[in-house]
Structure 1
Amino acid sequence: MKSTERHIPGEAGIWVLVFIDLVVFGSLFVNYALIRGSGTPDGLPGMHEFDRALGFINTIILLTSSWAVVMAMAALRRKRVAIARVFLLGAAILALTFAGVKVYEYAEKIAAGTTPMTSGYYNFYFSITGLHLFHVIVGFGVLLWMRSRAGRIAAPKDLGHIECGGIFWHMVDLLWIVIFPLLYLM
């Protein structure tokens, strides 16, 4: 394939997975909005008790990791494997950093006696962010896999497989871009 040709990145299967994930998260977001909208004027109990700084820090972490994946893919297209591997390692480290911040946040909540059973808000908070954290952990593995495959691109389809990993990681980032304002700011 010529470098000037345009194509949809990845393969059809990744787009099916992204669609299914977006439907699952979308249904959680809609349910949360419906319940929140039908609640008291102050919203769901517990929704004002968050350290927004941690959510903001995690937003910056994920945006930076997505940038690193974009840079890695650009480097791979130019056959600069060593640079791509550095960016993918950076993205993976940022994924672990995100998970560490989230675990710290969970530990703070649990130590204060807050669990999913504390309120409807915390039930949504732990469910949505827990499912997202699961995706971050899977994404960490995907990023390491991408890094291991970076030096073995022999055909355009090999790059397509790595693009699938990047698409998954960008979806994880996109989900957080919705979760952060929905749960932390609104």
Structure 2
Amino acid sequence: MLSLVASPLALAAAENASRRAPANIAVWILVWAELTEFALFFLVLLVVRAHNPDVFAAGPGQLNTLAGLVNTLLLLTSSFCVARGVAAMQQGRARRCLHWLGGTLLIGAAYLGVKGWEYQWNAAAGFDSRTNVFFTLYYYLTFNHLLHVLVGMCTIGWAMARTHWGHFNAREHEGLEGAACYWHMIDLVWILIFPLLYVLR
């Protein structure tokens, strides 16, 4: 009788274990801390926007929307690559995982290149962080995000090294999941930055 009761309980426990959140609690604390930081500055952006409607109505039209759109597409594609990399590792296909993570790094580098070109375009048009309050917030948010992309690229690079060294396998790859979660957070933040700065008027 006890075995009949214990068996469903064991199955339920195993099912719950298989449904665990990716990565570990430390990664999620970091992700939430980063999201909280950006949320505070989004709030500042909305408050300042409410007090300077004319400046913020003109601001998006002065930016290079194409650069923002290209970077949005790049980051969305990079998230797909990271997800495919984790899926490959879950299947025990380390080499394929490395290919997908390498693609993520290349796309991250492309993002940095587009952002650098966009900053040069702004400078040629006479816009910098002192132009007005819109550009002050634009440069703060986008440069802060750029720094997070650099950190994310380092994290993905470290995950690639550990994958190459055989530290991850189909059952044990928590570090890879942590790197993927951080990268998805970076992409999520950009999906919010793009409409707030480049689209809404």
TM-score (normalised: structure 2): 0.86
Q: Structure 1 unaligned segments of length 5 or more: list them.
A: none
Q: Which moved more, 1:35-44 or 1:73-82?
A: 35-44
Aligned: 1:24 with 2:37:
yes
Q: Which moved more, 1:143-152 or 1:94-103?
A: 143-152
What residue in structure 2 maps to residue 63 of structure 1?
A: 76
What residue in structure 1 maps to residue 3 of structure 2?
A: none
What residue in structure 2 maps to residue 85 of structure 1?
A: 98
Aligned: 1:121 with 2:138:
no
What residue in structure 2 maps to residue 35 of structure 1?
A: 48
Match of 2:168 among 132, 150, 153: 153
SS of structure 2 residue aligned to 1:43: helix
Q: Is the 8 A contact 1:44 1:120 kept in 2?
A: no
Report Cα offsets for 1:81-103 as digits up to 9, x if no partner: 01000000000000010011001
SS of structure 1 residue aligned to 2:81: helix
CA separation of 1:71/1:126 partners in 2, compared to 1, >3 Å: closer, same or farther? same
Matched AA of 1:175:
V
Compute the RMSD of aligned alpha carbons. 1.8
Question: Displacement of 1:40 after TM fit?
Answer: 3.3
**Identity rate of aligned residues, in percent?**
32
Report Cα offsets for 1:80-135 as digits up to 9, x if no partner: 00100000000000001001100100111123221111110000000000000000
Aligned: 1:96 with 2:109:
yes
Aligned: 1:106 with 2:119:
yes
Matched AA of 1:183:
L
The runs of at least 4 aligned residues of structure 1 exceeding 4 Å deviation read none
Aligned: 1:181 with 2:195:
yes
Question: Displacement of 1:51 after TM fit?
Answer: 1.8
What residue in structure 1 maps to residue 155 of structure 2?
A: 142
Q: Is the 8 A contact 2:60 2:199 kept in 1?
A: no
TM-score (normalised: structure 1): 0.93
CA separation of 1:117/1:45 partners in 2, compared to 1, >3 Å: closer, same or farther? farther
Whole-angstrom distance in 2 between the partners of 1:143 and 1:58: 18
Whole-angstrom distance in 1 between the partners of 2:134 and 2:55: 12
Matched AA of 1:25:
F
Q: Is the 8 A contact 2:72 2:190 kept in 1?
A: yes
For these two proteins, the number of residue pairs brought into alignment is: 184
Q: Which moved more, 1:159-168 or 1:147-156?
A: 147-156
Aligned: 1:47 with 2:79:
no
